[in-house]
Amino acid sequence: MRLRMSTGAPRPRPSGCSRTGVGAGAGRAAIALRYFNPVGAHASARLGEDPRGVPENLMPFMAQVATGRRPVLRIFGDDWPTPDGTGIRDYIHVADLARAHVAALDRLGVMTGFEVYNIGTGRGVSVRQMLAAFERAAGRPIPHEIAPRRPGDIAESRADCTLAERVLGWRARHGLEEMVQSLWAWQSANPQGYDGD
């Protein structure tokens, strides 16, 4: 199954709503930002993602395997209808996501009603492509194995960010290399997360 998301189309799983940021201005205007797959860390390497327990998402899990905190990355299926058989997602650097919020706040000052914007890069990256990029950034191989597909997953998800670009004047600036490099900078400086401080 291939999905190209347009603003207004529902995310394939309701849990996607948990990643939607909502802001309101003067009770008359609201904007929902539909996050795709936020990854990466602050350029200082002092702010990063430190999920509680075992990470469910690809990037924090991959980063923890790279530091040796977890033994192996399980790739959930290599038989998807994608060029390399692994799942494709639209990863967005958290710094770009932050800029999208600033653009949305500016927009709230000049609009009324409710608007929804996709926040991604519009480009799809497979699990294998992400793994290769992260191995380059970390300078080490990341142990991995093929596992069965994860229930509820889809083959591909990508954002159509045309509306955010046209109305908010926002578009992603950071590419894949900056996503993996910033994540690795944070994870290698904080191998046990914040609890390790």
Ligand X SMILES: O=c1ccn([C@@H]2O[C@H](COP(=O)(O)OP(=O)(O)O[C@H]3O[C@H](CO)[C@H](O)[C@H](O)[C@H]3O)[C@@H](O)[C@H]2O)c(=O)[nH]1
Where does this chain bind ligand X (CB under 6 A)? 11-13, 15-16, 18-19, 37, 56-58, 61, 73-76, 87, 89, 127, 150, 153, 157
What 3 state SS string does the chain have?
CEEEECCCCCCCCHHHHHHEEEEEECCCEEEEEEECEEECCCCCCCCCCCCCCCCCCHHHHHHHHHCCCCCCEEEECCCCCCCCCCCEECEEEHHHHHHHHHHHHHHHCCCCEEEEEEECCCCCEEHHHHHHHHHHHHCCCCCEEEECCCCCCCCEEEECCHHHHHHHCCCCCCCHHHHHHHHHHHHHHCCCHHHHC
**In whole angstroms, how close is the CB of 19 to ligand X at the nearest point?**
6
Residue whose Cβ sits closest to ligand X: 87
**In whole angstroms, how close is the CB of 167 to ligand X at the nearest point?**
24
**In whole angstroms, how close is the CB of 49 to ligand X at the nearest point?**
11
Q: Which is nearer to ligand X, 3 or 47 (CB)?
A: 3
Q: Which is nearer to ligand X, 153 or 165 (CB)?
A: 153
Q: Which is nearer to ligand X, 73 or 103 (CB)?
A: 73
Q: Which is nearer to ligand X, 33 or 108 (CB)?
A: 33
**In whole angstroms, how close is the CB of 195 to ligand X at the nearest point?**
21
**In whole angstroms, how close is the CB of 173 to ligand X at the nearest point?**
21
